[in-house]
Structure 1
Amino acid sequence: MSPKQQRGEATVDRILDTALRVYAESGQQGFTVNAVTKAGGVSFGSLYHHFGSFDGLAAALYTRCMEELFDAMTAAVLRSRTARTGVRALVRAYLDFTVEHREAALFLHASSYSGYLSAHARQIREARDAKLAPISAWLEPRVRRGELAPLPPQLIEIMVMGPVAEAARRSLSSTYDVDLNQVARLLPDAIWQSLRPG
């Protein structure tokens, strides 16, 4: 990689880090192009050069946060030998990510329905599918061997991710009082029970 490419990547990382910090400190209302450029000490031109638009920046940040979450989940499931420990590891990794990377989790859960992501839906979906592929590859042989309920991979993903994503979203919201320690004790086994064969 040339020095110019390295500088470009460093600038992209710095802008994404700044954008996440601005979002965490100011919320969706304060997440503006002016706030990000001012906080990061970058020009509008630089931001638009690297991301094409503010929506492009938001989509890139969403993708980065999502990839970090799925990397953590993949690492957890690949260390597991049984279907039960794997399902539990996926749930716990998601919850751990929510606690350890609160700003990224907040952006993921608050922005998942935001309009600025729709223009980049295909790119986000492709990135998501690529990151989910190792998890699916781990689950599929266990379904074939009868260690997991005979369900399509997408339904297994929904049954694992749906409840834990909602628990994480509620824990990040000021509207709900959700104890993630209690969730971490109870939810992994509850999700496993829903995916057990028979």
Structure 2
Amino acid sequence: MDTIDLLERCYPGRRAELKRDILRRALACFNEQGIEATTIEMIRAACDTSVGAIYHHFGNKEGLVAALFFAALDDQAGLRERYMSDAQTLEQGVQALVHSYVDWVDAQPEWARFQFQARYAVAKGPFAEELASRNKARNRQLREWLAGPTP
């Protein structure tokens, strides 16, 4: 698996350094304290930045949770696509799906833990429609692969 940090893949470049730092610290806070118990003030203190910087980049706590969740989802989907691109048969496709998920969880345990606990909050919160749209797009790609090439 790629050695570049997940956040560097999602938010590349020097201009995104503060955003990545906020996300890294927020991920640690959410995994240590839980999503509900973690406050913006706790994240601000961990980042040694201003509340305004956090709100500027993410809008609110729900936006921060969603940004982390979607970064994990996109990274996981990217690995799945790479594995699926080599699959030629249905059996290989199923193996690619399973192996990509297991390999991602193994390589990203903190992200997997967060993704598991945040799924409900994102699915029931203000980013529910975005999650549904992203899931629909990801599942469309999988359905297209399963359908095979069009004659």
Please show how residues 50-129 of structure 1 align to structure 2 within 5 Å: 50-114=57-121, 118-129=125-136
> CA shift at 1:140, angstroms?
2.0
State the alpha-carbon separation in 1 of the partners of residues 145 and 91 from structure 2: 12
TM superposition score normalised by structure 1: 0.62
State the alpha-carbon separation in 2 of the partners of residues 131 and 111 from structure 1: 19
CA deviations 1:3-24 (Å, max 9, x no partner) are xxx6653222221121112222
Structure 2 gaps of 5+ residues are: 1-12
Task: Count the aligned residue pairs.
Answer: 139
Letter in structure 2 aligned against 1:78: S
Structure 1 gaps of 5+ residues are: 1-5, 146-198
RMSD: 2.4
Letter in structure 2 aligned against 1:97: W
State the alpha-carbon separation in 1 of the partners of residues 29 and 95 from structure 2: 33
SS at structure 1 position matched to 2:49? coil
Please show how residues 25-36 of structure 1 align to structure 2 within 5 Å: 25-36=32-43
State the alpha-carbon separation in 2 of the partners of residues 41 and 131 from structure 1: 36
CA deviations 1:4-54 (Å, max 9, x no partner) are xx6653222221121112222333354221121111112110111111111
TM superposition score normalised by structure 2: 0.79
State the alpha-carbon separation in 1 of the partners of residues 15 and 140 from structure 2: 29
State the alpha-carbon separation in 1 of the partners of residues 122 and 136 from structure 2: 21
CA deviations 1:78-136 (Å, max 9, x no partner) are 11111101111101111121121011111111111126851111222233334444333
State the alpha-carbon separation in 2 of the partners of residues 106 and 73 from structure 1: 18
Letter in structure 2 aligned against 1:120: F
Q: Percent identity?
A: 27
Runs of 4+ in structure 1 deviating by more than 4 angstroms, as ranges, are none
